[in-house]
Amino acid sequence: MDADDDPEDGVEDAVRQAYQVHYGRLVAQLFGLIGDLAEAEDAVQDAFARVLTRPKAFLGAEDPERWLRVVALNVARTRYRRRWVFDRLVRAGRVDVTPAAVPGLSVDRVELLTALRRLAPPTREAVVLHHLADLPVLEVAATLGVPVGTVKARLARGRTALARFLAVADPFEKNDDPEEVRHA
């Protein structure tokens, strides 16, 4: 066998190309799910490492990015299960957690990521993949392995919960408390 015919070279080239094309987008999607950039990077890197242990599955995938996304989501879910007590406290609002500092991350983005962390994981996954990663509902359903109707229900619940979590008091709302009324 010639060195040029080594099948491992083809796998490495495919992984290198997939890494260049998909890495940033996958990290952004996972960051939206987990709220921690380092964890998101680790999960995506683990997904790429698994390509090397299961090259036939990756190379035979109809949609390589979806394959990587599913693997990265599974890695993130496994990590989540290990931290379930902490995350339940966060969702209950008993622990105040802001996402790890990321240069250039706006206050609004930090608030959104904090609100996303309060969603149940299945709901958060659907919301992030559809609204932040701009995947169509059919693609979200395929990625998560659930029916389209389930994705739509999770999106509706997620939007309702996020609206509640991100609600800001309206400064122009009628104030019935005479002590609070100020005259110019």
Task: Summarize pLDDT for 133-144 with one digit per residue, the tens.
Answer: 888 999 999 989
Provide the sign of the torsion angle of the four alpha carbons 29, 30, 31, 32, taken in this order.
positive
The most confident of the ranges 5-19, 90-104, 159-173 is: 5-19
Q: How many CB atoms lie within 10 A of CB 157?
A: 16
Domain residue limits at 25: 3-165
Q: How many domains does the chain have?
A: 1
pLDDT at residue number 183: 41
Q: Scan for tokens 């997939």, then name that residue.
A: 18
Is residue 83 included in any domain, yes or no? Answer: yes
Q: Is 74 within a domain?
A: yes
Q: Is residue 140 part of a domain?
A: yes
Q: Quick check: is 175 in a domain? A: no
Q: Quote the CA–CA distance of 105 and 176 in Å, as a whole number.
A: 38
Q: Is 158 exposed, middle or buried (0-12, 13-18, 19+ CB in 10 A)?
A: buried
pLDDT at 94: 65
CATH number at residue 128: 1.20.140.160
Q: Determine, yes or no, domain membership for 170.
A: no
Position 184 in a domain: no
